[in-house]
Structure 1
Amino acid sequence: MMRKIIAGILVLLVAWTSCQSHKNGVASIPEEPDYQDSTQWYMTDRKADADIFYITSTETGDYALPNGATAHYADTYSDSLRAPLYGEMVGVDTLVSGRLNFISPYYRQCSLQSFENDSLKAARLPLPLEDVRRAFQYYLKHLNGGRPFILAGYSQGAYIMLELLKEMDDVTYKRMIAAYAIGITIRESHPHIVPAKGADDTGVTICYNSVRDTSCAMRGWEKSNVAINPVNWHTDSTVATLITEPSPLQPVTDQKKDTMNVSLDLSTGLLIVKGFKAQDYVLPLIGKQGNYHSREIWLYREQLRENMTLRTSQWLKRYFQQPS
């Protein structure tokens, strides 16, 4: 109990310090996104029967403003700060959407520096969460048109996605095909967080976190109670073979494919990847050698695309099956 009290006090102190810093010109919060404004969305309408609602990963670092203040959140009206978000949206849409509609909001995501410790993360995540919460409600009311949807988030986006999933009313939850929490771990339980058991169950949560071995997990992501192998869609330790180009940073025609063995470590829920030979990009500040956080979508892009199509097909058959 005392530890919880101390942790709560620390969070309040960080929040108070952030507020005071803002008053003193040290920090600045960008303008709130207006989700009636089409520029605050990336959308690809393929006239499909289902959507992917995607929440981007952390593409923002702390940056200085002209007045000398330090900003810890993305400015969704700044072309230079929107550019990396747009790049991820286009990339993920291209890699996994297939024939599904793809919808992703710009939001004031917090900077990578915000994840250096738990207190900063706790103090800063509520702002991006509130942005995406508003965006999701706008999407449901004005953009979704009653279609079933896939909820997907990567890294910071996955944290936010889990909160949307927990807050979702039961009527909306029934329209959710599946939730993909990519590149994080999940310790909590909730009636709407139903671990996927195979390739085609619906209303479930898919989660995986790729590492060379368990010692390569980033701090706070050492164990997950929700985990599945995205190569063979097993929840046991069965090894799957993955043959693919290792890097999204080079043309695939310039790369040799790696042959990797991918399996779940049942004691931690981490996804163990053996045979990744490329010199990997290590996430600044919080990353570790042998942690494949930056490759979580790229490595499994074909499997994710096929799986989203399969789960969508199963959902449509379940709820819209025509009488014979």
Structure 2
Amino acid sequence: MKITHKLISLRKLYFLLFIVVFYNCKSTYKTQAFLTENIPPKPDYNLESSWAVLPWKYTDDFKVYASNQLDTLKADVFYVYPTLITDKKDTRWNAPITDVEQNETVVNKAVLMQASAFASSGKVYVPFYRQAHLRSYKLYKEGGKEAQELAYSDVKNAFEVYLKKYNKGRPIIMVGHSQGTTHTSRLLKEFFDGKPLQKQLIAAYIPGIRVKTKDFSVLKVMNSPNQTGGYVSWNTYKRNNYPKKDKDWYKGCVTTNPITWNDSNTTTLNQHKGFLYTNGKIYSKALTVEITDGLVWSTNPKFPLRFFMSFLKNYHAGDINLFWQDIRENAELRVNTWLATEQ
């Protein structure tokens, strides 16, 4: 009976993963007009409560992945999390930062599975922000633009407070995923691209949405593992699969190899350093990738009960944790390279 119950529990876990990653695109969103009176209160980023993560308020779970010598880290990490408000019955355009359920998801899922990859490279800063609902992309002209502008205004305000109050001239790793990349890309354009702050940029990791080289004037794609001062981006799908509705949507976008960090189009199992799963375990030599135009094609990762993941075609939710150890080691390398160059 114990074995049966364990299998049922694991199946439930995978089913939840399936629901989160592979939402039904055919169903329609319940929505409402974007009205000023419905906008959640503006966060004050001078208050520690407006931050999901500050270097002195890591959760115990996050500390597992952080450096044991936090005070000696010479770099900072500014991370913007992906869209977590996705319920099609939720008519809100933006989530307030007082939403307890959303905040728990930010801290215990997004931060733990994504930002943790950078916790050995720098001191991590993660602002809560009034994230836009997922439908803001699909219904961009029907309220989505306003919702995303509101979300970005928070991220920008948080970043400005970070620069003024916390940065103190330290080098920075910028990280975003999905909606987080939408906002982080704008930060890069506004604060770094050809600006004095670019000198402090170690690297930007901005996967999970389409990024094109023309999006930036000066910032360049990094195509070697120890290159600094630029950005990397990718979007992950199961091998031989494309976006369901628009096969060509990602064509021409930046497609970094998140295992080799160079121009290699394929990898071997031995090159893959590690996939961080929700059970907290890291599975190395778990997958291979193939680079196609705009997409990173991955094999079905080798880990317990991988059968359930075999039904997924879009690996968007795993853009970072599928390559967690690869990213972790690469971020450390880029930090060390930047520091050695600047000394």
Return the TM-score normalized by structure 2.
Answer: 0.75
Deviation at 1:35, TM superposition (A): 0.4
CA RMSD of aligned residues (A): 2.7
What residue identity is the alignment partner of 2:106? Answer: L
Instruction: Judge conservation of contact 1:227–1:235 (CA < 8 Å) in 2.
Output: no
Of 39, 42, 49, which residue of structure 2 is paired with 1:29? Answer: 39
Deviation, 1:119, is 2.8
Once residues 298 and 88 of structure 2 are traced to their aligned partners in structure 1, the CA distance between those partners, rounded to angstroms, is: 34
**Cα distance change on mapping 1:151 and 1:274 into 2, 3 Å:** same
CA shift in 2, pair 1:219/1:150, >3 Å: farther
Q: Secondary structure at the match of 2:170?
A: coil
Task: Write the distance in 1 (CA, Å) between the matches of 2:267 and 2:39.
Answer: 46
1:252 counterpart (265, 277, 281): 281
In 2, the alpha carbon distance for the partners of 1:177 and 1:51 equals 9
- Partner of residue 43, structure 1: 54
1:279 counterpart residue number: 308
- SS of the aligned residue for 1:114 comes to helix
1:223 & 1:240 partners in 2: Cα distance? Answer: 24
1:143 aligns with 2:166: yes
Shift of 1:182: 1.7
Contact 1:182 1:207 in 2 (8 A): yes
Aligned partner of 1:80 in structure 2 is 101
1:270-309 CA distance string (max 9 Å, x none): 1111243442399xxxxxx411011111111101111111
One-letter amino acid of the counterpart of residue 99, structure 2: S
Q: Could you tell me which amino acid in structure 2 is paired with residue 250 of structure 1?
A: N
Q: Distance in 2 between matches of 1:219 and 1:96?
A: 33
C-alpha change, 1:209 and 1:278, in structure 2 (3 Å) is farther
CA–CA distance in structure 1, aligned partners of residues 307 and 131 of structure 2:
30
Question: How many Å separate the matches in 2 of 1:218 and 1:247?
Answer: 26
CA gap 1:30/1:222 in 2 versus in 1, 3 angstroms? same
- Measure the CA separation in 2 of the matches of 1:62 and 1:274: 29
Corresponding letter in the other structure for 2:196: V
Tell whether the 8 Å contact from 2:273 to 2:325 is kept in structure 1 after alignment: no
Q: Do the aligned partners of 1:62 and 1:113 also contact (CA within 8 Å) in 2?
A: no
Aligned equivalent of 1:158: 181
Residue type of the partner of 1:160?
H
Q: Determine which structure has the larger strand proportion and give its number.
A: 1
* Contact 1:183/1:208 (8 A) holds in 2: yes
Q: 1:207 to 1:218 in 2, by over 3 A?
A: farther
User: Shift in Å at residue 191 of structure 1?
Assistant: 2.0
**Counterpart Cα distance in 1 of 2:46 and 2:284:** 44
Identity between Structure 1 and Structure 2 (%): 26
Q: Which amino acid aligns with 1:315?
A: W
Q: How many pairs are equivalent? A: 285
- The secondary structure found in structure 1 opposite 2:226 is coil
The alignment status of 1:217 with 2:236, answered yes or no, reads no
For structure 2, the residue ranges without an aligned partner over 5 or more in a row are 1-31, 57-69
2: distance between equivalents of 1:219 and 1:184?
Answer: 15
Q: Is the contact made by 1:53 and 1:152 (CA closer than 8 Å) also made in structure 2?
A: yes
Query: Tell me, which stretches of 5 or more residues in structure 1 are unaligned?
Result: 1-15, 283-288
State the secondary structure of the residue aligned to 2:308: coil
Q: CA offsets per residue over residues 78-108 of structure 1, 9 Å max, x none?
A: 3223111122224434333215211110000
1:4 corresponds in structure 2 to: none
Greater shift, 206-215 or 129-138, is seen at 206-215
127-136 or 224-233: bigger deviation: 224-233
Contact kept, 8 Å, 1:64 with 1:71, in 2: the verdict is: no
Q: 1:157 to 1:123 in 2, by over 3 A?
A: same
TM superposition shift of 1:142: 0.5
- Deviations 1:252-278 (Å, cap 9, x if unpaired)? 39xx8774221211xx22111124344
**Structure 1 residue identity aligned to 2:41:** E
Other-structure match for 1:5: none
SS at match of 2:321: coil
User: CA offset at residue 63 of structure 1?
Assistant: 8.6
Q: Which range moves more in the overlay, 196-205 or 184-193? A: 184-193
CA contact (8 A) 1:55 1:152 kept: yes
Distance in 2 of aligned mates of 1:207 and 1:300: 13
> Is the alpha carbon distance of 1:208 and 1:218 closer, same or farther for their aligned partners in structure 2, counting shifts above 3 Å?
farther
Q: CA deviation at 1:153?
A: 0.2
Matched residue of 1:141: which SS? helix
TM-fit CA distance, 1:50: 0.3
Aligned to 1:263: 290
Distance 2:228 2:284 in 1: 32
Contact 1:63/1:72 (CA < 8 Å) preserved in 2? Answer: no
Does structure 1 residue 229 correspond to structure 2 residue 257?
A: yes
3-state DSSP class of the match of 1:102? strand
Answer whether contact 2:266 2:288 (CA < 8 A) is retained: no
Structure 1 match to 2:60 = none
Task: Measure the CA separation in 1 of the matches of 2:320 and 2:116.
Answer: 11
What SS does the aligned partner of 2:263 have? coil
TM-score relative to the length of structure 1: 0.79
Distance 1:257 1:43, change over 3 A: same
